[in-house]
């Protein structure tokens, strides 16, 4: 009489999914391609969950003002800042498809206008995205800040400027401030000082950012308030009309900002 060999009950591999384990028990064959596909899908889903959950926690910590802003931060969680080696290819399409391939002055003007109007964020999350993605150089960032103005920036960052961004803004202003933009820069500084948790963000700035802040105010003090002549009196008064009291009020604002930004 022939005897059957003993049956050895081998434990299933711990990394197999239930469906694959059942298939192995039935056919003793593992579909490695299907297994790899399921593992990749599971890893991708897990990575997405962790990324969006971290973005939600950041949004809660920042105390966003609306659900739209909260949703924007979560949806933009997969975006990564561009590095110096990254390049953006700009392609311009002539407004007249029947024209020659040569770029006309009107095409160049249209392209410049599009560049100037590119940064039009409605939420802080959109500002973060455009600041990192489109504005690569210091002059571009400086012009964008002047274009938005203090009132718009104060509205965008009413809740919080965000960790690290305050120092970046001050560095850009310090490196590119011009005497003609003195009033506009003062307005930006005033709006930033009125944002939520400003004192905390100020205390978290690095040594280099503090030095840039000090250098910015030294430049603003050295520029001094412009003194209108008789010929340009109307134009100067119009440019200073944003601040009550004109020139005297502008100097008072500068002194107040020196204290708010803790500049010696």
The token pair at 126 is: 């959109």
pLDDT, tens digit (0-9, with 9 covering 90-100), for 158-191: 888 877 899 999 999 999 999 999 999 999 999 9
The residues, any chain, with a CB within 8 Å of residue 89's CB and separated by 6 or more, are: none
pLDDT, tens digit (0-9, with 9 covering 90-100), for 20-73: 555 555 555 777 888 888 888 888 888 888 888 887 888 777 777 776 777 777
d(C-alpha 215, C-alpha 174), whole Å = 6
d(C-alpha 236, C-alpha 232), whole Å = 6
Lowest mean pLDDT among 60-69, 127-136, 176-185, 215-224: 60-69
- CA angle 51/82/72 to nearest 5° reads 45
Pairs from 60-67 (Cβ < 8 Å, separation ≥ 24): 62/124, 62/159, 62/160, 62/162, 63/159, 63/160, 63/196, 64/124, 64/159, 65/158, 65/159
The pTM for the full model equals 0.51
pLDDT, tens digit (0-9, with 9 covering 90-100), for 81-103: 656 665 555 555 555 544 445 54
Domain ranges of the chain: 26-62, 122-225+244-264
């Amino acid at each position: 009489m022939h005897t059957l060999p003993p049956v050895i009950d081998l434990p299933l591999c711990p990394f197999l999914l239930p469906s694959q384990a059942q298939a192995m028990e039935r056919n003793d064959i593992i579909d490695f391609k299907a297994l790899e596909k399921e593992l990749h899908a599971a890893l991708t889903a897990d990575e997405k969950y962790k990324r969006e959950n971290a973005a939600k926690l950041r949004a809660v910590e920042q105390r966003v003002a609306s659900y739209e802003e909260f949703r924007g931060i979560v949806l933009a969680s997969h975006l990564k800042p561009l590095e110096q080696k990254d390049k953006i290819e700009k392609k311009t399409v002539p407004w007249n498809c029947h024209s020659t391939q040569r770029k006309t002055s009107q095409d160049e003007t249209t392209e410049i206008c599009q560049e100037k109007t590119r940064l039009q964020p409605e939420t802080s999350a959109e500002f973060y995205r455009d600041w990192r993605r489109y504005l690569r150089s210091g002059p571009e960032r400086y012009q964008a800040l002047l274009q938005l103005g203090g009132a718009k920036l104060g509205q965008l960052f009413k809740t919080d400027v965000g960790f690290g961004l305050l120092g970046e803004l001050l560095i850009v202003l310090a490196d590119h401030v011009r005497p003609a933009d003195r009033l506009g820069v003062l307005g930006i500084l005033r709006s930033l000082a009125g944002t939520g948790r400003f004192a905390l963000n100020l205390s978290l700035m690095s040594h280099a950012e503090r030095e840039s802040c000090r250098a910015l105010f030294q430049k603003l003090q050295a520029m001094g308030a412009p003194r209108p002549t008789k010929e340009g009196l109307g134009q100067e008064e119009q440019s200073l009309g944003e601040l009550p009291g004109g020139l005297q009020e502008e100097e008072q604002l500068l002194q107040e900002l020196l204290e708010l930004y803790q500049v010696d």
